[in-house]
C-alpha cells in the first residue's frame, strides 16, 4: 500500500506539467515546452513570410504592374527576408536546440531556464513591432533587409520600429546562445566528453559562439543608423563626412557569420539523420567537428565578398575571393562524409531521410553557385541579379528549411509519442521537391540573362521563367498547411511510437520513453559508447 | 498560350546562336552571354570554367550518392559495414584535391581581375551620376573636348506608359525587339575600339550601373567616385539596368549604350552639343569620316 502510494506519487512528480495555460506556456521554464513555443512561433512566421513571398511572386507572374505598387513590393521583399531569417529559420533552430540538446547530452534542462523563457517571450513582441510597420504611415521598411543607408534612412516611422525590433531579436538570440553554451559546457552527463557529443549539439555549440560574436555587431550597426536618422550624426552620411560603405562592411561582418548561423545546425541535423537511416555510424565524426569549426572561423574573414562591386582596391578583392573559395574545402569534407556514411550502409528512405538526402544534393547545388559567386570577374555579372536570389534560396530553403522539416519528422515521434503517416510525409516531400525546384532553378537562368533582383517589373524576355518560378511559388505556398495537417492528424490519430522510433536511431534521446516525459535525466544517465551515433570517438 | 509554343521554338534557336544575342535579353535565355568587351569575355570564360568544374564534381558526388542509394538498400539485403567510420587516407585526399582545384580556378580569375582593375591609358572619360531614378552622363574628356556633353537619361515614354497600364508591355518594341523597361529617352553614345574610363558616383542613394554586354557593374555611391573602364569591340545597342535597390523606381531606371565607330561618334558628340578642337570639320562632313585636318578653332 505504502509502496503503491509512493509509486503513484513518483509518477505524478515525474511528469508533472503545470495545469493552467498561463503556467504551462507563459511562465514555463521547461526546455521542452519552450522548444515547442519556439517551433510554433517559427511555423507562424514561415506562413507570414511565405505569404509575403506569395505577393512578390504574384506581382512577378507576368510583365507589367498588376497587383501592388512598387513601394509596397519593396516592403514585401524587405519584410519577407527579415521575417524568414529572424522569425522563421533562427527560432526554428533555437527551438530544436531547446528540445534536443538537453536530451542529447543527458541534462535535466537548460542551464538558465528562466532566461530561456525570456529569450522566447521577447520574440513575439519584436515581431509585433516589425509587422506593425506595415500599417504605419509610410509603410514598412523598403530598403532591403540589408538596410543599406542612405536608402534605408529614407523610410519614415518604420526606421525606429525596425531598429528596435532588431535590437530585441538580438537580445533574444544572444540570451539563447549564452544558454546553449552554458548548458553544453556545464551540464553534460558524466562520460559525455566534448568529442562524444552528437553532431547536432556540436554544431549548435559553434553556432552559439557565432551568435554571441556577431549579434552585437548588428546591434551597433543599426544603432548608428538610428542616430544618423534621428540624432543628427553622420556615421554613414557622406555629406557629413561619413561613409555609406562602412555600413556595408559592418553589416556583412555580421551578415556572413549569420548565414552560417542558419546552416551549421542544419549540418548537425543531417549528420544525425543520415547515420540513422543508413544504420551505420557517421563517417569522419572528428573531421565533421573540425570542418564545422573551420567554416565558423572562415565566416569571419570573408564578409566583403558581398561587396565586390562597391569599388574595393584590387588587393582587397583578391583577398576576399581567395578566402571565400577556401570555404569550399571544409564544406566539401562534410558532403563527402555524408556520402561515405551512406556507403556500405543499409539504407531505408523514410521521410526524414528523404528530406536529408535532398538537403545534401540541393544544398550542394547552392554551394556550387556560391563558389561561382566567389569568383570576382564572374561576380561582376552575377552580383545583385536573380542568380544570387537562386543561390541563397537553394542554401536557405532547400538547405536550412529542408533540414528543419527533416528534424521535425525525425524527432516528432519522440516529442509526441505518435508516428505520422509515412505516405503523406513522402507526399509532402515529393510535392515540395517538384515545386521548390520549379520556383528557384529558373531564377539561375533569369540572373544569367540579366534580370536584377528586387525589381517589381521586368522586360518581356524574362516573362517565361518568371511565370514558371511563380507557379513553383504557388505550389510551395500550400506546403506548410499540408505539413500542419499531417502532424495534426498524427498527434490525434497516429500510431503509438516506440521508445527507439527508428530502427537505426542512436543517441541519448532514444533512451527516454516516447513521448519524452516532461522532465528527463533528473539523474544523469550512464553513457555507453555503443549508443552514440558515431564510431569515431576512439581517436 | 501561343507564346509558349513560340518560346520553345526560340529556345531551340537560341541554343545554337547565343553570342549573336548579346545586346539585350532573349526569351528563354539560359546562360550568360560573352558580351562585346574583353571584361565581358573574361566574366563569361570564368563563368563557364566554374560551371563545368561544378558540373563534373556534381556528377561524381551525386553519382556516388546514387550508387550508394541503389546498392546499399536494406530492401536489397544490404548489411551495414559499421567499421567504415574513418579513413585518414581518403580524408586527406578529399581535402587536398579540392584545394588544388581551387588553385586552378583562382589562377585565371586573378589574371582577369588584374586586367579589369587597370584603368590607365584611357582615351576618354565619362562621368556617370545616379539619381532617384535616372542617370546623368557627362563626357568630360575625349580628344581635348572643349565643351563637355552633359545630359540626363531616363525611362522612355513607351515603357513609362506601359508600366502605368496604358499600353501592353509586349508592344513596347524597337526594331522588333522588346525594350520594355530597357529603353531610355536619351542613349549614351560611345565610340567602339576606344578605351573608355568611367567615373561613377551618385547624388542621393546607392545605385549600380550595369550593362551586361560590357561585363561589369559598378556601384554608384554618394560621396565616392568609383572607376571602371570598357573597350567596346562591336557597334550595337546594349541595354542594362540599375542593379542596386534604390527606392520605389529601382526597376525603372534603365541604361542604353549605343556603340558606334569613332567617326560617327564624333558627329554624335557634336549633335549632343559637345565641341572638339576640330568640330568645324566634323560638322562639314556629316556623311564621311572626318579626314581633313580642321583649320578653324
* DSSP per-residue string spanning A331-387: HHHHHHHHHHHHTT--B---HHHHHHHHHHHHHHHHHHHHHHHHSHHHHHHHTTBHH
Predicted local distance difference test score (pLDDT) of residue B284: 63
Is B223 close to A239, i.e. CB distance below 8 A? yes
**Cross-strand partners of B208:** B219
Whole-angstrom distance, CA of residue A517 vs CA of residue A520: 6
Q: Chain A contacts of B168, Cβ < 8 Å?
A: 64
- Examine the pLDDT at B145 and tell me if it is beyond 80: yes
Give A509-514 contacts, CB < 8 A, sequence gap 24+. Answer: A509/A100, A509/A103, A509/A104, A509/A411, A509/A414, A510/A414, A512/A103, A512/A414, A513/A417, A514/A413, A514/A414, A514/A416, A514/A417
Contact B65, A357 (CB under 8 A): yes
Contact A131, A48 (CB under 8 A): yes
Q: Is A173 a catalytic residue?
A: yes
Predicted local distance difference test score (pLDDT) of residue B24: 86
Q: Chain A contacts of B78, Cβ < 8 Å?
A: 344-347
| ∠ Cα A454 A94 A146 (to 5°) | 20
DSSP A282: B
Which of the following is catalytic: A167, A305, A383, A393?
A305
B14 falls in which pLDDT band (50, 70, 90)?
very low
Is A238 close to B227, i.e. CB distance below 8 A? no
Task: Classify the C-alpha dihedral A130-A131-A135-A140 as positive or negative.
Answer: positive
Sheet containing B149-153, strands listed edge to edge, beginning at the edge strand earlier in sequence = B149-153, B134-142, B124-131, B196-202, B226-230
Q: Chain B contacts of A318, Cβ < 8 Å?
A: 110, 113
User: If contacts are CB pairs under 8 Å, which of residues 241-260 in chain A contact chain B?
Assistant: 242-245
* Cell of residue B235, nine digits: 557597334
Q: Chain B contacts of A69, Cβ < 8 Å?
A: 248
Contact A261, A203 (CB under 8 A): no
Which 3 state secondary structure label does DSSP give A418? strand
Q: Is A145 a catalytic residue?
A: yes
Task: Classify the C-alpha dihedral A274-A279-A284-A290 as positive or negative.
Answer: positive
* Cell of residue A294, nine digits: 573551420
Closest listed residue to residue B54, CA positions, set A406, A378, A31 = A378
Contact A466, A59 (CB under 8 A): no
B157/A contact by beta carbon, under 8 A: no
**Cross-strand partners of B218:** B209
Q: Is A109 a catalytic residue?
A: yes
A326/B contact by beta carbon, under 8 A: yes
Concatenating the DSSP letter of every residue in A29-43 gives --HHHHHHHHHHHHH
* Cell of residue B231, nine digits: 573597350
The end-to-end CA distance of chain B, in Å, is: 62
Whole-angstrom distance, CA of residue B112 vs CA of residue B39: 8
B27-58: burial string, b at 16+ Cβ within 10 Å, e else? bbbbbbbbbbbbbbbbbbbbbebbbebbeebe
Is A445 close to B31, i.e. CB distance below 8 A? yes
Contact A214, A257 (CB under 8 A): yes
- CA-CA-CA-CA dihedral for B282, B284, B289, B292, to nearest 10: -90
Q: How much is the ipTM here?
A: 0.91
Of B64, B114, B169, the CB nearest to A460: B169
**Cross-strand partners of A177:** none
Predicted local distance difference test score (pLDDT) of residue A536: 59
Whole-angstrom distance, CA of residue B131 vs CA of residue B143: 28
Q: How far is A68 from chain B (nearest CA, A)?
A: 12
* Cell of residue B125, nine digits: 572619360
Strands B196-202 and B124-131: parallel
Is B82 close to A364, i.e. CB distance below 8 A? no
Which of the following is catalytic: A28, A77, A271, A299?
A271
**Cross-strand partners of B219:** B208
Contact B163, B181 (CB under 8 A): yes
Which of the following is catalytic: A33, A228, A258, A379?
A258
Which 3 state secondary structure label does DSSP give A496? strand
A71/B contact by beta carbon, under 8 A: yes
Q: How far is A378 from chain B (nearest CA, A)?
A: 4
Search chain B and give the residue with CA nearest A153.
Answer: B205
Whole-angstrom distance, CA of residue A190 vs CA of residue A505: 22
Q: What is the CA radius of gyration of chain A?
A: 23
Q: Chain B contacts of A239, Cβ < 8 Å?
A: 222-223
B6 falls in which pLDDT band (50, 70, 90)?
low
Of A63, A71, A309, the CB nearest to B248: A71
- Examine the pLDDT at B287 and tell me if it is beyond 70: no
**Dihedral pair phi/psi, residue B260, rounded to 5°:** -135, 160
* Cell of residue A331, nine digits: 564544406
Q: Is A172 a catalytic residue?
A: yes
Is A335 close to B61, i.e. CB distance below 8 A? yes
3-class secondary structure for A85-124? HHHHHHHHHHHHHHHHHHHHHCCCCCCCHHHHHHHHHHHH
Which of the following is catalytic: A167, A188, A334, A444?
A334
User: If contacts are CB pairs under 8 Å, which of residues 54-93 in chain B contact chain A?
Assistant: 54, 57-58, 61-62, 64-65, 68-69, 72-75, 78-87, 90-91
* Cell of residue B22, nine digits: 548579346
| ∠ Cα A451 A453 A458 (to 5°) | 50
Which 3 state secondary structure label does DSSP give A140? coil
Closest listed residue to residue A534, CA positions, set A276, A152, A297 = A276
User: If contacts are CB pairs under 8 Å, which of residues 337-396 in chain A contact chain B?
Assistant: 339-340, 342-349, 357, 360-361, 364-365, 368, 371-372, 375-378, 380-385
**Dihedral pair phi/psi, residue B226, rounded to 5°:** -95, 155
3-class secondary structure for chain B? CHHHHHHHHHHHHHHHCCHHHCCCCCCCCCCCCCCCCHHHHHHHHHHHHHHHHHHHHHHHHHHHHHHHHHHCEHHHCCCCCCCCCCCHHHHHHHHHHHHHHHHHHHHHHHHHHHHHCCCCCCCEEEEEEEECCEEEEEEEEECCCCECEEEEECECHHHHHHHCCCCCHHHCEECCEECCCCCECCCEEEECCCCEEEEEEECCCCEEEEEHHHCEEEEECECCCEEEEECCCCCEEEEEEECCCCCCCHHHCEEEEEEECHHHHHHHHHHCCCECCCHHHHHHCCCCCCCCCCCCC
Q: Is A278 a catalytic residue?
A: no
pTM score, whole prediction = 0.92
Cell 514555463 appears where?
Answer: A28
Which of the following is catalytic: A203, A207, A292, A331?
A331
A432/B contact by beta carbon, under 8 A: no
Closest listed residue to residue B167, CA positions, set B156, B177, B154, B176 = B156
B22/A contact by beta carbon, under 8 A: no
Of A142, A154, A377, the CB nearest to B42: A377
Predicted local distance difference test score (pLDDT) of residue A156: 84
A239/B contact by beta carbon, under 8 A: yes
Q: Which residues, at least 6 apart from B83, have a Cβ–Cβ distance to it below 8 Å?
A: A535
CA A206 → CA A58, A200, B72, B182, B230, distances in Å?
39, 10, 33, 47, 45
* Cell of residue A143, nine digits: 530598403
DSSP A143: S
User: If contacts are CB pairs under 8 Å, which of residues 186-215 in chain B contact chain A?
Assistant: 204-206, 208, 210, 212, 215
Contact B156, B163 (CB under 8 A): no
Q: Is A334 a catalytic residue?
A: yes
Crossing angle of helices A351-374/A314-326, nearest 10°? 160
Whole-angstrom distance, CA of residue A288 vs CA of residue A292: 6
Q: How far is B248 from chain A (nearest CA, A)?
A: 5
Q: Chain B contacts of A75, Cβ < 8 Å?
A: none
Choice among A519-523, B61-65, B290-294 with the minimum mean pLDDT: B290-294
Which of the following is catalytic: A260, A285, A410, A420?
A260
Search chain B and give the residue with CA nearest A361.
Answer: B62
Ordered mean pLDDT values, 10 residues apiece, chain A (539 residues): 40 66 92 97 98 97 95 97 97 98 96 96 97 94 95 92 97 97 96 93 97 97 96 94 96 96 97 95 93 97 96 96 96 96 96 98 97 96 97 97 98 97 98 98 97 96 97 97 98 95 93 94 88 63
Q: How far is A223 from chain B (nearest CA, A)?
A: 20
Q: How far is A314 from chain B (nearest CA, A)?
A: 7
Q: Chain B contacts of A71, Cβ < 8 Å?
A: 248
Which 3 state secondary structure label does DSSP give A452? strand
- Examine the pLDDT at B20 and tell me if it is beyond 80: no
Which of the following is catalytic: A32, A57, A229, A306?
A306
Whole-angstrom distance, CA of residue B71 vs CA of residue A345: 9
Q: Which of B32, B71, B249 to mutate to test the interface with A (most CBs of A within 10 A)?
A: B32
DSSP A534: B
Which of the following is catalytic: A32, A57, A80, A418?
A80
Amino acid at each position: 500500500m505504502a509502496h503503491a502510494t509512493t509509486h503513484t506519487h513518483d509518477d505524478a512528480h515525474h511528469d508533472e506539467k503545470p495545469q493552467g495555460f498561463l503556467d504551462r506556456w507563459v511562465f514555463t521554464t521547461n526546455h521542452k515546452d519552450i522548444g515547442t513555443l519556439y517551433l510554433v512561433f517559427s511555423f507562424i512566421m514561415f506562413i507570414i513570410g511565405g505569404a509575403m513571398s506569395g505577393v512578390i511572386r504574384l506581382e512577378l507572374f507576368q510583365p507589367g504592374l498588376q497587383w501592388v505598387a512598387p513601394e509596397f513590393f519593396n516592403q514585401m521583399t524587405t519584410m519577407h527576408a527579415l521575417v524568414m531569417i529572424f522569425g522563421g529559420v533562427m527560432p526554428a533552430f533555437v527551438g530544436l536546440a531547446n528540445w534536443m540538446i538537453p536530451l542529447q547530452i543527458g541534462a535535466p534542462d537548460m542551464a538558465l531556464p528562466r532566461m530561456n523563457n525570456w529569450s522566447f517571450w521577447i520574440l513575439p513582441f519584436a515581431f509585433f513591432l516589425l509587422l506593425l510597420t506595415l500599417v504605419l504611415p509610410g509603410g514598412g521598411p523598403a530598403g532591403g533587409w540589408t538596410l543599406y543607408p542612405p536608402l534605408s534612412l529614407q523610410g519614415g516611422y518604420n526606421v525606429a520600429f525596425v531598429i528596435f525590433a532588431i535590437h530585441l531579436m538580438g537580445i533574444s538570440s544572444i540570451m539563447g546562445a549564452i544558454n546553449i553554451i552554458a548548458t553544453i559546457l556545464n551540464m553534460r552527463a558524466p562520460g559525455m566528453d566534448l568529442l562524444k557529443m552528437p553532431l547536432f549539439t556540436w554544431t549548435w555549440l559553434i553556432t552559439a559562439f557565432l551568435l554571441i560574436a556577431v549579434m552585437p555587431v548588428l546591434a551597433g550597426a543599426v544603432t548608428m543608423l538610428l542616430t544618423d536618422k534621428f540624432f543628427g550624426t553622420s556615421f554613414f552620411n557622406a555629406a557629413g563626412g561619413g561613409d555609406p560603405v562602412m555600413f556595408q562592411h559592418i553589416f556583412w561582418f555580421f551578415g556572413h557569420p549569420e548565414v552560417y548561423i542558419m546552416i551549421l545546425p542544419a549540418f548537425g541535423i543531417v549528420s544525425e539523420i543520415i547515420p540513422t537511416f543508413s544504420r551505420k555510424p557517421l563517417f569522419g565524426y572528428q573531421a565533421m567537428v573540425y570542418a564545422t569549426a573551420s567554416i565558423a572561423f572562415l565566416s569571419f574573414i570573408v564578409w566583403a565578398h558581398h561587396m565586390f562591386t562597391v569599388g574595393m582596391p584590387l588587393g582587397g578583392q583578391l583577398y576576399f575571393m581567395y578566402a571565400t573559395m577556401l570555404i569550399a574545402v571544409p564544406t566539401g569534407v562534410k558532403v563527402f562524409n555524408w556520402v561515405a556514411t551512406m556507403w556500405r550502409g543499409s539504407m531505408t528512405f523514410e521521410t526524414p531521410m528523404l528530406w536529408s538526402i535532398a538537403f545534401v544534393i540541393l544544398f550542394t547545388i547552392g554551394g556550387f553557385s556560391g563558389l561561382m559567386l566567389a569568383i570576382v570577374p564572374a561576380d561582376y555579372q552575377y552580383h545583385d541579379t536573380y542568380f544570387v536570389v537562386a543561390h541563397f534560396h537553394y542554401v536557405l530553403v532547400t538547405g536550412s528549411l529542408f533540414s528543419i522539416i527533416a528534424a521535425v519528422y525525425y524527432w516528432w515521434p519522440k516529442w509526441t509519442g505518435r508516428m505520422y503517416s509515412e505516405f503523406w510525409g513522402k507526399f509532402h516531400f515529393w510535392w515540395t521537391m517538384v515545386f521548390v525546384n520549379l520556383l528557384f532553378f529558373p531564377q539561375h537562368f533569369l540572373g544569367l540573362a540579366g534580370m536584377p533582383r528586387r525589381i517589381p517589373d521586368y522586360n518581356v524576355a524574362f516573362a517565361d521563367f518568371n511565370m514558371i518560378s511563380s507557379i513553383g511559388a504557388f505550389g510551395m505556398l500550400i506546403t506548410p498547411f499540408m505539413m500542419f495537417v499531417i502532424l495534426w492528424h498524427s498527434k490525434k490519430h497516429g500510431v503509438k511510437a516506440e521508445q527507439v522510433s527508428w530502427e537505426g536511431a542512436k543517441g541519448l534521446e532514444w533512451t527516454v520513453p516516447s513521448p519524452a516525459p516532461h522532465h528527463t535525466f533528473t539523474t544523469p544517465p550512464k553513457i555507453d559508447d555503443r549508443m552514440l551515433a558515431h564510431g569515431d570517438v576512439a581517436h | 498560350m501561343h507564346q509558349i509554343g513560340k518560346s520553345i521554338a526560340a529556345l531551340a534557336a537560341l541554343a545554337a546562336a547565343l553570342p549573336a544575342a548579346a545586346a539585350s535579353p532573349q526569351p528563354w535565355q539560359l546562360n550568360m552571354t560573352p558580351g562585346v568587351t574583353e571584361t565581358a569575355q573574361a566574366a563569361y570564360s570564368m563563368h563557364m570554367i566554374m560551371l563545368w568544374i561544378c558540373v563534373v564534381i556534381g556528377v561524381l558526388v551525386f553519382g556516388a550518392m546514387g550508387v550508394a542509394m541503389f546498392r546499399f538498400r536494406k530492401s536489397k539485403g544490404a548489411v551495414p559495414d559499421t567499421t567504415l567510420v574513418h579513413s585518414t587516407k581518403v580524408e586527406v585526399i578529399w581535402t587536398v584535391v579540392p584545394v588544388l582545384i581551387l588553385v586552378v580556378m583562382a589562377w585565371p580569375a586573378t589574371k582577369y581581375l588584374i586586367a579589369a582593375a587597370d584603368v590607365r591609358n584611357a582615351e576618354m572619360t565619362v562621368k556617370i551620376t545616379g539619381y532617384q531614378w535616372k542617370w546623368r552622363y557627362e563626357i568630360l574628356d575625349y580628344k581635348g573636348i572643349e565643351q563637355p556633353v552633359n545630359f540626363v537619361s531616363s525611362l522612355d515614354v513607351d515603357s513609362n506608359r506601359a508600366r502605368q497600364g496604358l499600353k501592353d508591355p509586349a508592344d513596347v518594341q524597337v526594331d522588333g525587339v522588346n525594350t520594355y523597361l530597357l529603353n531610355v529617352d536619351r542613349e549614351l553614345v560611345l565610340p567602339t575600339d576606344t578605351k573608355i574610363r568611367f567615373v561613377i558616383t551618385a547624388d542621393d542613394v546607392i545605385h549600380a550601373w550595369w550593362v551586361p554586354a560590357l561585363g561589369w557593374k559598378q556601384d554608384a555611391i554618394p560621396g565616392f567616385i568609383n572607376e571602371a573602364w570598357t573597350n567596346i569591340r562591336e557597334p550595337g545597342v546594349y541595354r542594362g539596368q540599375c542593379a542596386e535597390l534604390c527606392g520605389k523606381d529601382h526597376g525603372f531606371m534603365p541604361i542604353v549604350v549605343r556603340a558606334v565607330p569613332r567617326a560617327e561618334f564624333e558627329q554624335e558628340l557634336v549633335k549632343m552639343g559637345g565641341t572638339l578642337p576640330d568640330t568645324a570639320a566634323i560638322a562639314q562632313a556629316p556623311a564621311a569620316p572626318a579626314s581633313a585636318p580642321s583649320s578653324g578653332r
